Amino acid sequence: MNIQDIKKVELHCHVDQLLNQHILTGLQPIEKYKKLITGLEQLCPIGSIQDWLENYGPYIDSIVSNNGEFLLKLLELYLVKSKQHNVIYSEIMLSGFTFQHEDIDRQIELYKEFRESADRIGGDGYRIEFLIAFGRTSNRREMELLLNRLLRVKEAGLICGVAVAGLEEENTVKPYTDIFSEFKKAGLGIEIHAGEWKGPQFIWEALEYGYADRIGHGLAAFEDPVLVKHIKENSIHLEFCPTSNLYLTKYKKIEDHPLKHALAEGISFSINTDDPGPLCCNINHEFELVQKTFKLTEKDFDTIRENSLRAAFKPTEEITFENRRRSP
């Protein structure tokens, strides 16, 4: 099996985690980015979550913070690469870093440029949609402001969902169940990162109080058989990110990744890059890694693709069956 020929769906990739020395070489004029490349060569790939927090995180903040235009350039390079890797559908998480304008109308204008780039690069065979990702917080005022802004972006037709990342235990979802309910009423899909660093109770919380349709990572689900049953019966989708999970979670050996349990249980899951910048990975690499480790067949990849498309936050009926198939 040639992994390049497998048609792929990616549901979990952060636009503010695309930057590394390799992607920068695609930006012109290259002289302008030489200094950045040298700085990044020392940081990527990151070695651990501590490394990310102490080194890559602050560095990336200083470069992309309030710099939506720069992130748009990186996104364009990433989408071109994804298309080459035979991706047929992507949902990309825009982040707080792209929220560079206080004035939401100006922000919407910027997001329209993201939309136009995605349409231009995607063309006929590759569809791209956007979510807005935000960090867990314990500040209600902040969440209320965010809700108003996100609803405006949704009304403008520029996002199909929201995603929530951050430390699970410190900032729980439960106090904001009313706000998640508003997201749902507005027709936004809800993704919550949970069970990445902490236990299954945070996945339960994301489902019960955050109305999550999809769980980012969800590794800890497999520590709780009742939760596994619940996820299966309610068609909750898990977004696995193999390299990210190896670098950033307690699963230090790919052989121990719960993907094999999910496959055996018939649970819907996708295979994603999460942070291709600091992890120096790409979607072909992720597919290859799981194929080699778990001996996935073409039929398994067909199932993964169909389940991923079913879990997409934007209806995907128009992606015809022929288009979904592997390349000849």
- Those residues whose C-beta lies under 8 Å from the C-beta of residue 39, and which sit 6 or more positions away, are 59
Rounded to a whole number of angstroms, the minimum distance from the CB of residue 253 to Zn ion is: 21
Two tokens at 121?
A: 């690069």
Indicate if the alpha-carbon torsion angle 145, 148, 152, 154 is positive or negative: positive
Q: Catalytic residue among 129, 168, 196, 286, which?
A: 196
**Letter for the amino acid at 172?**
T
- By C-beta, is 205 or 274 nearer to Zn ion? 274
Cβ closest to Zn ion, residue 129 vs residue 274: 274
User: In the 8-state DSSP scheme, what is residue 174?
Assistant: G
Q: Which residue is nearest to Zn ion (CB)?
A: 274
Select from 3-11, 172-180, 248-256, 266-274 the region that touches Zn ion (CB under 5 A): 266-274
Inter-helix orientation angle 68-84/104-122, to 10°: 20
CA dist 321 and 46 (Å) reads 39
Closest approach of Zn ion to the CB of residue 228, in Å: 22
Q: How far is the CB of 191 from Zn ion (least distance, A)?
A: 9
Of 217 and 305, CB closest to Zn ion: 217
Which residues 6+ apart lie within 8 Å of 115 measured at CB?
A: 130, 158
The answer to whether residue 274 forms part of the interface with Zn ion (CB under 5 A) is: yes
- Whether 133 contacts 93, CB under 8 Å: yes
Q: Is 196 a catalytic residue?
A: yes
Closest CB 162 distance from Zn ion, rounded Å = 13
Contact stretch for Zn ion (CB under 5 A) within 1-9, 103-111, 248-256, 267-275: 267-275
Nearer to Zn ion, 217 or 319 (CB): 217
Binding site for Zn ion (CB under 5 A): 274
Catalytic residue numbers, as ranges: 196
